[in-house]
Amino acid sequence: MFLLLCCQTERKTALDEQGRRVVFAYRALNNLVLTFRMTMQTSSDSNLNVLNFLIDNADEAELSLSESIQIASGGWHTLVLREDGTVWAFGENRYYQLGYDSGEDIGGLSAESGVLHQVTGIDNVAAIAAGGLHSLALKTDGTVWSWGSNEYYELGREVTDVCGHDDFGEDLLCSMIPGRVEGLSDVVAIAAGRKHSFAITRDGNVWGWGSNRLGELGNSEAGRVNVMTSVQAEGLSDVIQVQGGEGSAAALKRDGTVWIWGTSHNGEGAPSVPTEIPDFTDVILIDAKFGHTLALKNDGTVWVWGSSFSYSFGIDGYEDGDTRIPQQIETLSDITKVAVGYYFNFVVNNEGDVWCWGNNSYDMLGIEGAEEMYGTLPDIAPEPFTDIKLIDAGYYYGVMVKNDDTIWTWGENFGGSGNNTIPYQLSFE
């Protein structure tokens, strides 16, 4: 995602239709019911009842520290949020997106592949999001903090550190130390796109900053420029999740509808202001990163739209093209989690197994011996892709958290973000 994972937890208890007591962790952002979706013993109808119950009580919930490890993968770096509210990171660090000095010029790369280092200068974090070259954190007081590259004002604040130069010789600015994003408060969810950032406030409104050159902020009055001060996405309310892509964005509303904007990878003729996808409802999770979007419905089905380059759709007949009309991946069912990479995908079913498909040019599918362009249809991944709690993807790598809270990564080893085909376990410094 570039995802922002879930933000806060407050224990809520609901009864399913069979009278069983099922405890869910309410999350005010994208994982509304997801981490525990739907505990697999409940029917889809009762799951929808629970989802509505949690949404109805959202305004009463307070931000708090996460009850379990969370992950957020960006371009070539990953953030990890621990239960004590501290943030850790690994991967590329050329723009200080890891939040510490690697000891190399201009931030350098993560010095030790497979080792997580703590982000300095921030604590009491409830949620994280990783963008192309920048990072975001939501603190328990509802404020948003940022660090990394500020080339497109994606940090939402003034910075002075120079991390390089563009093609015209202009300074590229960045920040190693997390700083507060100006003008935002009472935030309950965050997300990071490749060059832009989003926040959802408690009233359900979406605010964005950073690049708007492709209309990715959803505000027609902001102009096709880089925007440092957050602007409100037009026509949106009651939003529970937002995702930033590569020049595009998508939002999920409380009523299960999905709204898209931005002219890149939402299909030809995509709108520059938020527009509802017609006849598409009952969605509980979206992931929109680079070239396409996945949506998970309450019945466990997975839908896709955007660019189908490199078999990213997982559907016969969609090998290379664009569409804004969601298409069901009919070979998938009982899915609980979805993750989008650079034209490749992961989904997790209700037994904790991982299915993958799409681009495999850097072994990011984690299947030994798989072809570079793996094929059109999802395939189940072998060990150690079992008992999965969370999964995410960056440009050319993947990250997962197993039920025992161990963290694993695989794919391209650019700056320590992966290690070729076979997943290996990460450790904290």
The pair of structure tokens assigned to 292 is 């396409």
The string of DSSP codes covering 242-263 is EEE-SS-EEEEETTS-EEEE-S
8 A C-beta contact, residue 82 and residue 407 = no
Q: 3-class DSSP state for residue 310?
A: helix
Residue whose C-alpha is closest to residue 80's, from 16, 140, 137: 137
Per-residue pLDDT of the chain (429 residues; tens, 9 = 90+): 333 333 333 323 332 322 222 222 223 333 433 333 333 233 334 444 444 554 555 555 677 787 789 999 998 899 999 999 999 999 888 899 999 887 654 444 444 567 899 999 999 999 999 999 999 999 999 999 999 999 999 999 999 888 877 778 888 899 999 999 999 999 989 999 999 999 999 889 999 999 998 899 999 888 889 999 999 999 999 998 999 988 889 999 989 999 999 875 555 456 789 999 999 999 999 998 878 899 999 999 999 988 776 667 776 666 666 788 899 999 999 999 999 998 899 999 998 899 988 888 888 888 776 666 555 678 888 888 889 999 999 988 999 999 999 999 888 865 444 446 788 888 898
CATH number of the 10-428 domain: 2.130.10.30
List the chain domain ranges: 10-428
Backbone angles phi, psi at 213, to 5 degrees: -70, -20
CA 252 – CA 326 distance, rounded (Å) = 14
Give the total residue count for the chain. Answer: 429
DSSP conformational letter for 119: P
The string of DSSP codes covering 151-210 is TTSTTSS---EEEEE-TTSPEEEEEEEEEEPTT--SEEEEEE-SSEEEEEETTS-EEEEE
Cα–Cα distance list, 356 to 106, 278, 393, 410 (Å): 35, 28, 11, 13
pTM recorded for the entire structure: 0.85
Mention every residue, 6+ apart, whose C-beta is less than 8 A from residue 81: 5, 66, 69, 70, 71, 72, 87, 88, 125, 127, 128
Q: What residues are paired with 137 via a beta bridge?
A: 128, 145
How many Cβ atoms sit within 10 Å of the Cβ of residue 229? 14
The sign of the torsion formed by the CA atoms of 57, 81, 427, 3 equals positive
